[in-house]
Structure 1
Amino acid sequence: MTGGAILRVVGGVLLVLALAGCTGSSLKLASASATTPYRGTAGEAATDPGNADYGVTPDPSMPITIATPRLDPNHTYSLPELINIAQLSNPATQAAWQRAREAAAATGIAEGAYLPIISADVLAGYAVTSNTAPGINTALVSVPDGTITTSGMQAVPSLAVKWLLFDFGARDAALATAQQVSFAANVGFNGTHQKLIYDVSNAYFQYSAARAQSRIDRAALDNARVVLEAAQARLDQGVATTMEVAQAKQQVAQAEFDLTGATGRERSTYAMLLGAMGVSPTITIKVQDISGKPLPRQVPDNLDQMIVASLQRRPDVQAAFAQMKASEQGIAAARAEFLPRIALTGTINRTIGSYSIHDTRFDSTASLDVNQPNAAVLLGVTVPIFDGGMRDARMEAAVAAASASQQDFARLQSTAAQEIVVAYDVLRTSLSANAAATELVNAARTNYEAALDYYKNGLGTLADISVTQTGLLKAQYAQAQARSDAFVAAATLAFATGTLTSANSF
């Protein structure tokens, strides 16, 4: 073995050892044990904090991008205005738009497969070649075997063109798949906006219901205080007992407790509204009340017709249908792998070099300059013969994926139809419940006012007031909840039928 060969072997061994050392040192990036907290930065060895604190070091370089839209503190925002703010602020819509753009770009990639690929390369460097030359043995000359060594600098600029002419539909299938995926992403983008409109509307109606319950509890507290004043007045007149006054004070305390819980729920639903909008939970925004908003219209009668029309326009169903068609194109692409491909290849290059040629037989050296152009145009046919069953496996996978997409599409239609029916029934029930609750409130208010007048005039008891007040409170709660449920059910039905398409849907 020559000295150069030995050096190459030693160098290779040292390189392998160095790579092995790097692999081992990379484990230093993790904690020393399963009970050792991690401290460190990306790419640096982990350190042991010396305690059981598993906190994470704050990263001041991390951007915090919670949306804080500029709002008018004196303006009361309606539901369409809140939806518009959400569509501008919520990152979900921006992410869906970028995914749609990504899918559109993938279509461009598939279209590019129909065009030739042109590439330019330049190879330059120092080259050495050695060839054994036979000796010369004659009666006059005897030259032993030797070596001809050619060395020098060379450059080879080249231009290559490759054009796939025919592939039995593989590119067509790839383009059709990309187009269907792009369509699915685009309708998914619209679906993201519809979901955002629904989420904001739902949170808005829940917040409105909580505000209504707070108003009811405030009115109940005022009523309890009126009863307490009446009980105190009767006690001062000697027609009531201290027990009645104590009971009236208990009702005031209970009303104050109920109001505290209601205001807490109001704050929680307000935070839910801000969360649905995708804005900072610390901003303050005035929200319009729905007390004067008319209830949704009655639901349509032909439920079957509504289901069919709804499924045909729902973004998620359309996206699933597009995915199913895309998966069917996968079968065509897998089938094309069994067939030949015809491509045209052309190359143009030039070899430029300056070489030194040394012949050991004569111990002579010569110089050679080369500037040689080359060109070729070739038509190639690639015929797959054997690949260990990979094409068969791809075909089976494509068929299975297409079948699964068909079943997913059918399942989604069934689920969507169920959602429509449930929302339809809930809306119909909520409208009926609201009508019944309105009658109940009117009757309960009449009973309470009559009981209060009787008690003030010394004809009734505090127990009568307590019963009628509780009945009025429950009826008002039921009315507020039924009204909110009707709006939520209408929003749910509109979302389920694919008609909740803009901020002005309500």
Structure 2
Amino acid sequence: MRILTRILALALTSTATVLPAAAGSLDDPFATAARTPAAPSPQQFGRSGAVPCADRLPDAPLGPVEAVDLALCRHPQTREVWATARAQAAQLGVARAAWLPTVDASLAATRYQYAEDPYTRRSASLTLSWLLYDFGQRAAGVEAAEQLLAAASATQDATVQSLFLAALQAYYNAQATRAAVGAAGLAERSAEAALAAAELRYQVGVGTPADRLQAQTARSQATLNRIRADGEAQKALGVLANAIGLPAGRPLALQDAPPPPAPGAFAQDVAALIAEAQARRPDLKAAEAQLRAAEAAVDAARAAGLPRLSLAAGPSWVDTGPATTQGGQFGLTLSVPLFSGFDTTYRVRSAAAQVDVRAAQRDRVQNQVALDVWQAWQNLNTATQSLQTTADLVASAEQSERVALGRYKAGVGSVLDLLAAQSALAAARVQRIQAELDWNVNRAALAQSVGALDYSLLQGAAEGKP
């Protein structure tokens, strides 16, 4: 009896170490819901104020903040990763359930047909089964489930940050393509002005047919460029609609782009950013958790080949008609695997190889994190410097175009000089739009590469901060 008491005490102590301290509800006795990450929402990423997820587009034109709100609330991938995390939390409950006893009820009725004495045999039993000790297999299973839940939570964070970035990229690209339509329209009007000047000079006899034909060609090319730019803008709106979880054909109205940020030097310590990213990046945290889960799986595979001590108890009842028997059982069973055809050996070897796989994946992600930060830092540094250069480029191109048009109207300049100046101005405007797009996108990409992408980035962009 003392031995049995000690065995039960050991089983209860081991059970208490893996079960949650606070019991959950009847439908969640292991309180796994408390371990499940929250559903992706704007508040999760620092959105100020209580902003519920909207069921429809806002009435006002869409801004970058509202675009991200919709992406976090409506995109199907946010629901997918949250459901995956909930499923893994339930698997943690499955692992913890192995520490508790199971109770099975059995009812049976059999009719025996004998010529002289047919009878019916009825039986019932209630059996409690409890695995008391297994050399750590269940504990390893709980640890693996804990780590896989941590990995699922980190994967959710990484996925939602990627959606955050994708929504911003799509929004800024839609704004840029709309600005490109405006720039193409300005280039078309400039080409029309050049054509009107060539027509006037031809009519008064100081222009040549070649000048007029060249101006007509330039005007047609400018019109074609404007048509193509409009098509690109419509496609960009479809990409934006998809990024925020709406059908591609959904009409969208965008806010006017804010004034471009004041050009300035971008100076941050890239080594410090890489160190911060390695501490914050959720995909790296997920890889670390996957490695720890694989290590726990090795312990579980080893324990599967060790002895197991179980308890079974319960009453039974048998009725054969003339006689009724009542009884019960109570016993301990020690199962000692002697030979399993080397199954345990190869399971341990497979689990150990999976540890090497997860370790290599962790190292690969760690290197990728450093590369992501380095590339994003370089891209943003280049984009910040490009803002000043393209501002100067547009200013000089506008001045050159005005001078060329004035000289041509005055009869001292050639149509080729005018068309070249107009082409240079159109190209400068496109480069300016591209520089602003690159600055906005690369700023968000750097924050995402560090693992710090949230709504504070949009507030900083509204204030023109690098």
TM-score range, shorter chain: 0.7 to 0.9
Match of 1:213 among 163, 180, 186: 180
Query: Match of 2:11?
Result: none
Query: Match of 2:72?
Result: 87
- Partner Cα separation in structure 2 for residue 119 and residue 201 of structure 1: 56
TM-score by length of 1: 0.77
- Partner Cα separation in structure 2 for residue 128 and residue 199 of structure 1: 74
- Measured at CA, do residues 301 and 85 of structure 1 come closer, stay the same or move farther in structure 2, by a change above 3 Å? closer
- Partner Cα separation in structure 1 for residue 311 and residue 325 of structure 2: 24
TM-score by length of 2: 0.83
2:314 matched to 1:329?
no
Greater CA deviation, 325-334 or 209-218? 209-218
- Partner Cα separation in structure 2 for residue 493 and residue 297 of structure 1: 17
SS at 1:287 equivalent: coil
Match of 1:311 among 257, 278, 282: 278
Superposed, which structure 2 residues align to 1:120-131 within 5 Å? 120-127=105-112
Q: Deviations over 1:285-323 (max 9, x none)?
A: 101232425379865532122112112211111111000
Match of 1:485 among 435, 438, 446: 438
Q: Deviations over 1:157-203 (max 9, x none)?
A: 11100111111111110001001111111121222211111111111
Query: Match of 2:89?
Result: 104
Query: Match of 1:410?
Result: 363
Query: Match of 1:464?
Result: 417
Match of 1:446 among 399, 405, 415: 399
Contact 2:241–2:252 (CA under 8 A) maintained in structure 1: no
SS at 1:347 equivalent: strand
2:206 matched to 1:239?
yes
Superposed, which structure 2 residues align to 1:335-346 within 5 Å? 335-346=302-313
- Partner Cα separation in structure 2 for residue 302 and residue 399 of structure 1: 39
- Measured at CA, do residues 327 and 278 of structure 1 come closer, stay the same or move farther in structure 2, by a change above 3 Å? same
Superposed, which structure 2 residues align to 1:78-477 within 5 Å? 78-127=63-112, 151-294=118-261, 299-354=266-321, 369-477=322-430
- Partner Cα separation in structure 1 for residue 154 and residue 113 of structure 2: 61
- Partner Cα separation in structure 2 for residue 149 and residue 297 of structure 1: 107
Q: Deviations over 1:112-153 (max 9, x none)?
A: 111111111111121469xxxxxxxxxxxxxxxxxx987411
Higher strand share: 1
Contact 1:110–1:174 (CA under 8 A) maintained in structure 2: yes
- Partner Cα separation in structure 2 for residue 315 and residue 296 of structure 1: 32
Over the aligned positions, Cα root-mean-square deviation in angstroms equals 2.0
SS at 1:388 equivalent: coil
State the identity as a percent.
29
- Partner Cα separation in structure 2 for residue 299 and residue 166 of structure 1: 61
Q: Which aligned segments of 4 or more residues in structure 1 are displaced greater than 3 angstroms?
A: 148-151, 295-300, 501-506
Which amino acid is 1:391 matched to?
A: T
Which amino acid is 1:99 matched to?
A: T
2:57 matched to 1:71?
yes
- Partner Cα separation in structure 2 for residue 258 and residue 270 of structure 1: 19
SS at 2:320 equivalent: strand
Which amino acid is 2:69 matched to?
A: N
- Partner Cα separation in structure 1 for residue 268 and residue 455 of structure 2: 24
- Deviation (angstroms), 1:503: 8.2
Higher helix share: 2
- Deviation (angstroms), 1:467: 1.1
SS at 1:460 equivalent: coil
- Partner Cα separation in structure 2 for residue 155 and residue 191 of structure 1: 59
- Partner Cα separation in structure 2 for residue 190 and residue 264 of structure 1: 35
Which amino acid is 1:187 matched to?
A: A
- Deviation (angstroms), 1:344: 0.9
Greater CA deviation, 241-250 or 259-268? 241-250
- Partner Cα separation in structure 1 for residue 397 and residue 267 of structure 2: 33
Which amino acid is 2:386 matched to?
A: A
- Deviation (angstroms), 1:456: 1.7
SS at 2:332 equivalent: strand
Which amino acid is 2:127 matched to?
A: A
Greater CA deviation, 246-255 or 444-453? 246-255
- Measured at CA, do residues 187 and 75 of structure 1 come closer, stay the same or move farther in structure 2, by a change above 3 Å? same
Which amino acid is 1:337 matched to?
A: A
- Measured at CA, do residues 180 and 128 of structure 1 come closer, stay the same or move farther in structure 2, by a change above 3 Å? farther
Question: What is the aligned residue count?
Answer: 406
Contact 2:265–2:385 (CA under 8 A) maintained in structure 1: no
- Partner Cα separation in structure 1 for residue 351 and residue 221 of structure 2: 67
Which amino acid is 1:90 matched to?
A: H
Contact 1:349–1:375 (CA under 8 A) maintained in structure 2: yes
Q: Deviations over 1:200-246 (max 9, x none)?
A: 11111222221121111100011111112222222333322233222
Contact 2:88–2:145 (CA under 8 A) maintained in structure 1: yes
- Partner Cα separation in structure 2 for residue 88 and residue 78 of structure 1: 16
- Partner Cα separation in structure 1 for residue 453 and residue 289 of structure 2: 22
SS at 1:77 equivalent: coil
- Partner Cα separation in structure 1 for residue 113 and residue 360 of structure 2: 64
Query: Match of 1:31?
Result: none
- Measured at CA, do residues 196 and 503 of structure 1 come closer, stay the same or move farther in structure 2, by a change above 3 Å? farther
- Deviation (angstroms), 1:464: 1.2
Q: Deviations over 1:397-451 (max 9, x none)?
A: 1111111111110111111211111111111111112221111111111111111
